[in-house]
Amino acid sequence: MSYESRLGPSLVGYNLTHSGYEYVQRILDLGMLEGELGHMKPTPAVAEIIKALHTVLAGGEVKIETVHRGNPDIVNELQERTEQMQYDANTINEKSGFYVTLTS
């Protein structure tokens, strides 16, 4: 399935809560992607997690092991941001009566 037109890739607008936008900015600031502008891609570690997600979504099963826990303050911050993003999006979706924005 391709979403590319004869003229090349195109952009679409998507509603995102402010907390969701801030979360995306934060994970980008933390180095989720690598490479020069126009040639960016997920870091190898992040790419493995994305591949694992795809496996789960396709009905498979994965095992994830944390080898080094990293900075616990950042882990907690990202978890809190995720929870806030879900809360905000669910609140907006519930009040509007239909799916308006991504929940996480």
For the chain, domain boundaries: 18-75
Nearest to residue 86, comparing CAs of 14, 22, 17, 25? 17
| pLDDT tens for each residue of 20-67 | 999 999 999 999 999 999 999 999 999 999 999 999 999 999 999 999
- Give the separation between CA 30 and CA 28, rounded to whole angstroms: 5
For 67-96, what is the mean pLDDT? 95
Report percent pLDDT > 70 for the chain. 94
Q: Assess whether pLDDT exceeds 90 at residue 79.
A: yes
